[in-house]
Structure 1
Amino acid sequence: MNVLHLFSKFASKYFAVIVIFISMIAFVSPTTFTWIAPHITLLLGIIMFGMGLTLKLSDFGVVLKKPVPVVIGVIAQFVIMPLVAFGIAIALNLPPELAAGLVLVGACPGGTASNVMVYLAKGDVPVSVAMTSISTLLAPILTPFILFILADQWLPVDAGAMFVSIVKVIIIPIALGIILRRLLPNFVDKSVTVLPLISIVAILAIVSAVVGGNKENIATTGLLLFAAVMLHNSVGLALGYITAKLVGLDEAKRRAISIEVGMQNSGLGASLATVHFSPLAALPSALFSVWHNISGPLLVTFWGWIDSKRTKVDMDTKTPSL
């Protein structure tokens, strides 16, 4: 277990590098990974089950104690990202499947990796966890609804079927994880340290399957789509922070909401696109998974630099002159 824990920490620390490396391999040798595609939904269910194992009722308590930051963050999550995706798809004139796929990832709830990024950024972790949890629980209703409103012009959206898919792949696995934690808390606490590794392997498998299955599409539209994904994520991070600042939240909550808004559950996007649209529509989610695991650490590093400069200024101000 100690070896697995150490490997899990290593994989979490260097996940951005690993996901880029695996994506490159999948592009060069697609047949090595395309067999995974039929199992994407199962893999996402495993990730969500692991999320359920880490959740406690106290994680939802912050919503009752301090609802304003969480409510503002969740609203921003489901308003900013879908509308930004829609605007980018129109502005760049993306092909219908890619446009719908970009809106789909924008309409997804926050990703679990965001909680780690918020912690590293010295953000408000309880707000981050509550936002991830609440947005995930709202996803069966809001994700199909938003997609139907914004993306039905490109591809037919069966909101009812998508609702059922999200309940199966997210709500049920999370509920099972919460129940198991309640029944076997000691066992879960001993095993929870390796959950990041399981999630990382599952995400890598999903990304590699989508990249491998879209080698030709990446070769023809890769640069345009990657630019769209980078812009989508960057604008989401910026507008999340600005929204929190405009409503008067403190710096820790601004950072939490920024990261929560900008980092999506791209695994869910890839799964829904594969099942309800096409492998091509899953490509924006796969590229988003690669990019937001690069932009997240970069933003953490930037904020760390800002904090160190503020600390230095404060020390210089307090130091008495001789």
Structure 2
Amino acid sequence: MDRVQAIGDVVGRWFAVIVVAAGGMALAVPGPFAGWSSAVPWLLALIMLGMGMTLRPVDFAYIARRPVAFAIGIAAQYVVMPGLGWLLTQIFSLPPEIAVGVILVACAPGGTASNVMVFLARGDVALSVAMTSVSTLLAPLLTPALVLLLAGQFLPVAPGSLFLSIVQIVLIPVVLGFLLRRFAGAAVDRVIPALPLFSVVGITTVVMIIVAGSADALLAAGLVILAVVALHNVAGLALGYVAARACGLDVAARRAISIEVGMQNSGLAATLGTVHFGPAAALPGALFSVWHNVSGSIVAGYWSRRPATTAPAEQTTRD
């Protein structure tokens, strides 16, 4: 298992490169990867099961210790990104399916890779884990409601169907994984070192299937979609930090909230797009999966060289 963990660590460090290369392969030769869209929800459910297996009751204790920081983070997660997503669809006058895909990314919970990025950035990891976990548990209610509110102008939205999909793809696997960790901890501990490798393989496969299924649309509007995705992510990172700073949170909490807000569960967005709106609606999620790992790595690398425990007078100049 040590060897598997070592492989997983290496793959995790090169995740962005791997996903970019895999997406390019699927775009260049879509045939072998097309037609597998029905497997996407199952792949994401397995990834979320792995996420649930990493959770422990202590991860939720942060909420009681620092409720203000947690509340600010969750509010920013479900206000900043949906607002930005809707604004970008208006500015770029996106086609309906692409616009819905952007809204789906905007209204998704925090991404599973964000905890690693916060750790590398010397941020508040406990806050990051609590935000990812709770935003994921809130997703069955908040994501359909926000999508209905913001995307209903583009295509018909069935919030009840979205709710059921998120429960099946996200909530049930996460809760099952948590229960497995709780009642079969010894067995789960043996497989946890392999989970990063499994997640990378699963997300990469999802990206390849989506890119292959929407190759024509991606070639026609790829640069525009990429510009929207990049602006959405970068603005989310910046505004998450600004919101945390404006509320007087410490530097470590600012970094955690910035990364949590900017990094979405784009796999969920892509899956919902595939199942409910069509292949083109999954493209923003697929591209976001690539981009936010690149930008997150850059931000984490920058902050990793700048201590988060600076004196108040130094915080403005150093961070």
**TM-score, with length taken from structure 2:** 0.95
Asked whether the equivalents of residues 33 and 208 of structure 1 are also in contact (C-alpha less than 8 Å), the reply is: yes
Amino acid at match of 1:207: V
Query: Which residue does the alignment assign to 1:320?
Result: none
Q: Is the 8 A contact 2:23 2:211 kept in 1?
A: yes
Equivalent residue, structure 2, for 1:139: 139
Query: What residue number does 2:317 align with?
Result: none
Q: CA deviation at 1:304?
A: 3.2
Residue type of the partner of 1:138? Answer: L
Query: Aligned partner of 2:159: which letter?
Result: A
Measure the CA separation in 2 of the matches of 1:89 and 1:254. Answer: 27
Matching residue of 1:97: 97
1:307, distance to aligned residue in structure 2 (A): 4.4
Displacement after TM superposition at 1:175 (Å): 1.1
Moved over 2 A (4+): 304-308
Structure 1 position 36, deviation (Å): 2.8
How do 1:46-85 and structure 2 match up within 5 A?
Answer: 46-85=46-85
Within 1, Cα distance between the matches of 2:306 and 2:126? 23
Please report how far the alpha carbon of residue 35 of structure 1 lies from its aligned counterpart in structure 2 after TM superposition: 3.6
The one-letter amino acid paired with 1:232 is: H
Distance 1:307 1:5 in 2: 28
Size of the aligned set, in residue pairs, is 311
In 2: Cα distance, 1:284 partner to 1:50 partner:
24
- Provide the identity percentage: 49
- How much has 1:302 moved relative to structure 2? 2.1
Determine the C-alpha separation between the residues in 1 that align with 2:71 and 2:170: 21
Q: Is the 8 A contact 2:122 2:307 kept in 1?
A: no
**Take 2:182 and 2:125, find their aligned partners in 1: how far apart are those partners?**
22
Residue 109 of structure 1: aligned partner: 109
Rounded Cα–Cα distance in structure 2 between residues aligned with 1:304 and 1:176: 34
Name the structure 1 match of 2:174. 174
- Worse-superposed segment, 32-41 or 72-81: 32-41
Letter in 2 for 1:21: A
Letter in 1 for 2:166: I
Distance 1:217 1:40 in 2: 19
> Deviation string for 1:231-287 (max 9, x for gaps)?
000000000000000000000000000000000000100111111110100000000
Question: Could you tell me how far 1:227 is from its partner in structure 2?
Answer: 0.2
Q: Following the alignment from structure 1 to structure 2, what is the Cα–Cα distance between the partners of residues 307 and 64?
A: 26
| In structure 1, C-alpha distance between the alignment counterparts of 2:224 and 2:274, rounded to whole Å | 21
Contact 1:36/1:206 (<8 A) preserved? no
Q: Residue deviations 1:103-128, cap 9 Å, x none?
A: 11000000110000000000000000
Structure 1 gap ranges (5+): 315-322
Contact 1:69 1:249 in 2 (8 A): yes
Aligned-partner Cα distance in 2 for 1:305–1:248: 23
Measure the CA separation in 2 of the matches of 1:85 and 1:156. Answer: 18
C-alpha contact (below 8 Å) 2:48/2:173 kept by paired residues: yes
Shift of 1:188: 1.0
Q: CA deviation at 1:306?
A: 4.3
Alpha-carbon distance in structure 2 between the residues aligned to 1:103 and 1:206: 19
The correspondence of residues 160-199 of structure 1 with structure 2, limited to 5 A, is 160-199=160-199
